Amino acid sequence: MASLTYTGYERGNNLKQMLQQFYGNAKDLTVDYNGQIRPLFQHGPNLYPLFIGKLSRESSDRFEFSFYVKEKAEETEKLLGSTPITNPENPSSPSLALAYCCLSQYTGQTWPWGALNGIRPGHVVEGLMENYPVDLISSILEDRYFVSEDKAKLAVETGLREKLLLEKIPRQSYGIYIGVPFCPTRCAYCSFTTPEGIGQSSAKGSLFLDQLDREVTDFIHWPDQAVQERLGNLAAVYIGGGTPGDFSEDDFARLVQIIRKLPLGPATELTMEMGRADVFTRKKLQILREAGIHRICINPQSLDDGVLERIGRPTSRAEIIEAYRLSEEEGMEFINLDFILGLPGETENAFIRNIEDAIRLNPESITIHSLALKRGSDRYREFFGQNIKDTNPLEAGDMDDQTLISTMDKAYQSLRHAGYEPYYLYRHRLGLAGLENLSWAKPGQETLYNILMMSDRYPVLSFGTPAISKRVDGGKAKRLANPKSLSLYLRKDQSYWKEKRNFMLLT
């Protein structure tokens, strides 16, 4: 275990995330916003090593960030390193780089994305592109942020593609997200969905749809002029969850009718995350086709029956392939397949075989996530049972870090070889082996919603639950979340729709 305290420094959360990368099982992070180190004895001997970040003023215009370690209560703190800070309002980059460097030397561990922890690589690349020639950016990522050479090149390649895609989205545009809280069962690794929605789509589906209908209907009565001025035209809609395909066929038809009420233009991209193969029926796909929705996501996560059973998905490789074939037969023109690297029971060879089998199906897009589990959660313990390691949860799967990294690389080579290009990159701070999530698409088959939503340049209006709306003022994103709880969402009324309208339209 390890702990952290910091003083004179208001962005401790970034430091905490950095420490969690090295000591993922840290259960007791000491965070002190007042610059006081808490009495250590209260936390017991497991507190150590205790890391201390200090931002101090050296003179009127000189600041310094120093990183210390204290290994035992009776020992004094040892300086691991320090760096000057030119902008004390934003000490994050240099202080995170220093913390990474010190922790890496102290533990002997390195991570593929180096100090880019809690920061989206695309944002950093975008910022660097404003000040440096493109051919220098990869080496800046390596030198300044300790990113590995492969990942630095990947970040630049993806960042450039993202930039080109952003140029395709007119400046005065917005996106819509619809969150569906239902899933047939809960998958073992999932910490996302609202528990109230598990196995409840038949019991509560129509109540949810009534409420969603009210929410969408309120929106379509917002004043046109204000919508045009503040939001612009609807560029992309994404229906996610949860498992939107979990509804009965009748309720699914209703969901689609509600979506059709949105101000869709001829160029609006419309993507439905159908979800797991066990919810697919020909009728649901026909409902989509008849409504003009031809873009779907299928989330197999693995094509290995043993792994699917272990993660609690009552579906099989054969059913996944059947769902894919049905979708093709029913005229789906865009299919994304989602996979997760690091699931228990999956070997390197099995994972690569799955990706190659997926490529043979010829989908327009394939996304690979690295497994991310909330450390110490009940779910995590249940998932890994007695094998839970008391070291680092990032090592929780059956493959070690190096194998995970090389497996991801091999999967990427297969995707490149088959003509897919990476375009949408993001990271979860607890991704196994510090790895990323990356979407690959055939040229021209990218999902613009992903780029629009991630960019913080465009507003995103969200309905349902879980769902977070975002407006962008002077380059800064502000967010308003619909209730995460289904029962709370169902209780919202006119006053909440009004609050949301005021938030999005700044009225």
Residues making contact with ligand SF4 (CB under 6 A) = 183, 186-187, 190, 192-193, 242-243, 275-276
Asked whether 148 and 100 are in contact (CB, 8 A), the reply is no
Distance of closest approach, residue 203 Cβ to ligand SF4, in angstroms = 17
Q: Which two tokens stand for residue 346?
A: 């999956």
Closer CB to ligand SF4, residue 80 or residue 187?
Answer: 187
Closer CB to ligand SF4, residue 30 or residue 243?
Answer: 243
Closer CB to ligand SF4, residue 276 or residue 500?
Answer: 276
Distance of closest approach, residue 114 Cβ to ligand SF4, in angstroms = 29
Asked whether 63 and 91 are in contact (CB, 8 A), the reply is yes
Burial of 316 (0-12, 13-18, 19+ CB in 10 A): middle
Q: Distance between CA atoms of 122 and 454, rounded to whole angstroms?
A: 9
Q: Which of 37, 453, 60, 78 has the alpha carbon at shortest distance from 271?
A: 453
What are the contacts of 284-289 at 24+ separation with CB within 8 A? Answer: 284/245, 284/249, 284/252, 285/326, 285/327, 285/330, 285/331, 285/332, 286/330, 287/249, 287/252, 287/253, 287/256, 288/256, 288/330, 288/332, 289/330, 289/331, 289/332
Q: Distance between CA atoms of 21 and 24, rounded to whole angstroms?
A: 6
| The pairing of beta strand 62-70 with beta strand 437-441 | unpaired
Distance of closest approach, residue 450 Cβ to ligand SF4, in angstroms = 17
Closer CB to ligand SF4, residue 156 or residue 279?
Answer: 279
Asked whether 96 and 14 are in contact (CB, 8 A), the reply is yes
Closer CB to ligand SF4, residue 55 or residue 183?
Answer: 183
Closer CB to ligand SF4, residue 159 or residue 181?
Answer: 181
Q: Which two tokens stand for residue 119?
A: 């920061």
Distance of closest approach, residue 462 Cβ to ligand SF4, in angstroms = 16
Distance of closest approach, residue 187 Cβ to ligand SF4, in angstroms = 3
SS3 letters across 425-440: EECCCCEHHHCCEEEE
Closer CB to ligand SF4, residue 190 or residue 207?
Answer: 190
Alpha helices for 392-471 (secondary structure H) = 401-417, 448-455
**Matching residue, tokens 């989205």:** 169
Q: Which of 444, 437, 443, 504 has the alpha carbon at shortest distance from 470?
A: 504
Distance of closest approach, residue 461 Cβ to ligand SF4, in angstroms = 22
Beta bridge partners of 241: 180
Closer CB to ligand SF4, residue 186 or residue 484?
Answer: 186
Closer CB to ligand SF4, residue 151 or residue 313?
Answer: 313
Distance of closest approach, residue 276 Cβ to ligand SF4, in angstroms = 5
Q: Distance between CA atoms of 132 and 88, rounded to whole angstroms?
A: 23
Distance of closest approach, residue 230 Cβ to ligand SF4, in angstroms = 31
Closer CB to ligand SF4, residue 8 or residue 312?
Answer: 312
Closer CB to ligand SF4, residue 243 or residue 450?
Answer: 243
Distance of closest approach, residue 339 Cβ to ligand SF4, in angstroms = 13
Asked whether 231 and 185 are in contact (CB, 8 A), the reply is no
Q: Which of 142, 144, 138, 143 has the alpha carbon at shortest distance from 160?
A: 138
The angle, 0 to 180 degrees and rounded to 10, between the axes of the packed helices 134-145 and 149-168 is 130
Distance of closest approach, residue 192 Cβ to ligand SF4, in angstroms = 5
SS3 359: helix
Closer CB to ligand SF4, residue 271 or residue 455?
Answer: 271
| The pairing of beta strand 365-370 with beta strand 437-441 | antiparallel
Distance of closest approach, residue 399 Cβ to ligand SF4, in angstroms = 20
Distance of closest approach, residue 325 Cβ to ligand SF4, in angstroms = 21
Q: Which of 242, 333, 331 has the alpha carbon at shortest distance from 284?
A: 331
